[in-house]
Amino acid sequence: MRIRIKTSRLVLLASGLLLAAGLLLSFETPATADEADDIRAKITENNQKISDLQKQIDQYSTLLSSTSKEAQTLASALKSLELTRQKLEASLDLTTKQISKTSLALTQLKKDIATTQSKIDRTAAAIAESIRQTQVAESQSAIEQLLNNRSISDTWDYINAVHTLQAEVKGRYDDLRDLQALLVAKKDEATGEKTKLESYKKKLADQKQVVLVSKQEKDKLLADTKNTEAAYKKILAEKIKQKETYEKELFDYESQLKITINPGSIPNSRPGVLSWPMDSVSVTQYFGKTVAAKRLYVSGTHGGIDLRASIGTPIKAALSGIVTDTEAVRSKSGCQYGKWVLIKHPNGLSTIYGHLSVVSVKPGDA
């Protein structure tokens, strides 16, 4: 009878381990499940709002594009500035929703990480207990069990129970390995969400500056023109004259620069050396001696490319490099390059980005 009690206790122990394993793998409580569902619902809601806002922004972009083709009048200038303001406000709302969505995702990931870590701790504890019980069960060999027990059946029951325990230990090790891999994946995902969150926050700060600049431009236009078409035409004519003067100076500087440049320091001409600095590209003026350049510029050539972009459009570097210099305060509105950024690239080229609303980099940035 003593031996049968041992065997029954061992089989019961294996069954108890199976039950504990089931509890470990369904650790999420109803409360935490409800919280997760609530967060997912909020993320879905934010996704819908983000989609709606993006549609509004696209509509404003289309309107701005058509407005830019209208005759240059005070009314069209004010209309363009108002559309720009509306688009910028929508962009601000969009970034705010993206921040909210990313924050919610990060909150859920933190909960998932905590839950997974708890499962790992409980599984590790279960493994330790299983190993201890297996060692106790294996303290006698099969021969010793056969000699001690009254029947061969009792001995086989004992051996089967030991094998069950060993299988459960292996299963728990597999569970532990999977949980540890899940934990690493969740932590990597959380790191990515944190990076996105910081990027969105920086973008929001830049957008707020752009909104302010746009308002200042409208206020200045109204103040300078006193809201009259005649005054606007006069200012426009002055800007065109100043533009021609600066273009001539620029051509002279570029001519002098060509003498000092070592041709061997410039990479061979081929497609793909530089990438577009914007996601959506619309070229309004090409580089070099084009038909339009001969008509529009004193030098007859154009030293860069002009791209159509509404105020607030993000600009990227055409190639990796180091920021050499910037002009963050526009000294002559509407002339030269306005606010600009100069970037030096490893292949010997440098690129300059002009007519910017906000400069958010500084010399030395990569």
Per-residue pLDDT tens over the stretch 135-184: 776 666 555 655 565 566 766 676 677 777 777 777 888 888 888 999 99
What CATH number should be reported for the domain holding residue 277? 2.70.70
Percent of the chain with pLDDT over 70: 73
- Assess whether 256 and 113 both reside in one domain: no
Does residue 366 belong to any structural domain of this protein? Answer: no
Instruction: Give residue 294's domain range.
Output: 229-356
Mean pLDDT (whole number) for 1-19: 43
Candidates 201, 197, 199, 202; CA nearest to 107 is 197
Does residue 365 belong to any structural domain of this protein? Answer: no
What pTM value is reported for the model?
0.64
- Assess whether 121 and 16 both reside in one domain: yes
- Assess whether 195 and 244 both reside in one domain: no
Domain boundary among 224, 257, 272: 224
- Residues 179-229 have pLDDT tens digits of 899 999 999 999 999 999 999 998 898 888 888 888 888 888 888 888 888
- Assess whether 240 and 219 both reside in one domain: no
- Assess whether 85 and 204 both reside in one domain: yes
Q: How many angstroms separate the CA atoms of 208 and 194, rounded?
A: 21
Q: How many angstroms separate the CA atoms of 182 and 288, rounded?
A: 55
- Assess whether 165 and 299 both reside in one domain: no
For the chain, the domain total comes to: 2
CA 360 to chain centre: 17
Query: Is 90 exceeded by the pLDDT of residue 98?
Result: yes
Q: How many angstroms separate the CA atoms of 33 and 28, rounded?
A: 6
- Assess whether 177 and 131 both reside in one domain: yes
Question: How high does pLDDT run on average in the chain?
Answer: 78
**Neighbour-count burial of 235, counting CB atoms closer than 10 A to its CB (0-12 exposed, 13-18 middle, 19+ buried):** middle
- Assess whether 183 and 83 both reside in one domain: yes
Query: Is 60 exceeded by the pLDDT of residue 238?
Result: yes
Q: Which amino acid is at 269?
A: S
- Assess whether 50 and 183 both reside in one domain: yes
111 contact partners, CB below 8 Å, separation of at least 6: 32, 35, 36
Q: How many angstroms separate the CA atoms of 310 and 81, rounded?
A: 10
- Assess whether 192 and 63 both reside in one domain: yes
Q: How many angstroms separate the CA atoms of 99 and 107, rounded?
A: 12
Does residue 294 belong to any structural domain of this protein? Answer: yes
Does residue 362 belong to any structural domain of this protein? Answer: no
- Assess whether 236 and 205 both reside in one domain: no
- Assess whether 301 and 210 both reside in one domain: no
